[in-house]
Amino acid sequence: MNVWVVRGGRHGELEQLLLDQGVITGPSLDLPDLSDVSSREDLTRIYERHRPELTAQQIAAYVGQWWTLLDRMQVDDLVVMPLKSRGTIAVGRVNGPYCYRSEPDAVVRHTRPVEWLAQDVPRDAFDQDLLYSFGAFLTVGGVKRERAAERVAEVVRRFQAGTPIPGTSAVGPVAVTGPTDRTDEVVDVEEAPDVAALAREQLRQYLARTFTGHRLAELVAAVLEAKGYAVTVSPPGPDRGVDILAGSGPLGMDRPWLVAQVKTGAADVHVLRALEGVCARHRADQGLLVAWGGFAGTSRTEARDRHFTLRLWDADDLIRELCDVYDRLPQDLRAEIPLQQVWVLATPDTL
């Protein structure tokens, strides 16, 4: 059994569709039916004909991913889809061959059927080395970590049983290799890492270890202070749904008033709705729900309906906000989170 990483669009725009329809797809949607393709050479000729603007290296990378979807991926293999829209991970099992959908209204035409075994699995349920692989930028890629299939299957089993466990592997950062001339293995994610994603994952792991429990609320409060709010953080212990009260002005009494709830795990729509009640009780103008483990179900959909009164931050959102205000954080906090900005050249061959 193999493990494959798949994507639901560059920005996660196809994720819910793939989950609802029980399918996965390839890196682009503008190719003809590939049902008669029998070799990588056939795929290469199709790309050269339909995407003449691409370089030979880009075509080789795309062909490697499509060949994985068509041929290398076998029935009963596991697929992992990191959900950008939720901050969690979905795991499924391939249960059929490639299928081209010719219906006029089909949004996704190139598909492999998948039985989704678990959606909204917290990222911290997986070992760190697996998370590094899940962060590669390829739309379809193979995970070659030791016992990857066995470990992913165990996470699914525990998640289905209601007992997910955090990863405990002490694996350090993966090596970033240079370009490869081997076209038969270009789909393996360890050969095509997303450097920015690797850096984000290292920071996420560090923050998860360092800011546990109530300290995560203190970190969120520091970010809000750097954004110009005056904040009051509830002491450790029962908080009646309020971790942070924030307002404008020197005393924090000027509007807008904000109530923040901070969760170290995942949050669902019930937590979101409870926060709305807390905001009403405090006559707050805005609510902020921070869930380090991501958001399950329709949480983000409901939050979009309350765009001007409610915001959701998962781990990636908090990290982005932290980086945006890093130079305005207190010196002692910056010493505890030592970051250095590095500029990386974005080449035309980046997919």
The full set of domains in the chain, from first to last, is 3-208 (3.10.590), 214-336 (3.40.1350.10)
Please report the pLDDT score of residue 150 as a whole number: 95
Share of the chain above pLDDT 70, in %: 87
**Mean confidence (pLDDT) of the chain:** 85
Question: Quick check: helix, strand or coil at residue 147?
Answer: coil
pLDDT exceeds 50 at position 180: no
Please report the pLDDT score of residue 239 as a whole number: 64
- For residue 33, which of 105, 106, 110 has the smallest C-alpha distance? 110
| Mean of pLDDT values over 112-130 | 91
Question: Which one has a higher pLDDT value, 198 or 216?
Answer: 216
Q: Is 75 exposed, middle or buried (0-12, 13-18, 19+ CB in 10 A)?
A: exposed
| Segment holding 210, helix H or strand E | helix 195-210
Question: What is the total residue count of the chain?
Answer: 351
pLDDT exceeds 80 at position 160: yes
CA–CA gap between residue 269 and residue 194 (Å, rounded):
32
Tokens 């990378």, residue located: 61
What pLDDT, in 10s, does the model give residues 87-120?
A: 889 999 999 999 999 998 899 999 999 999 999 8
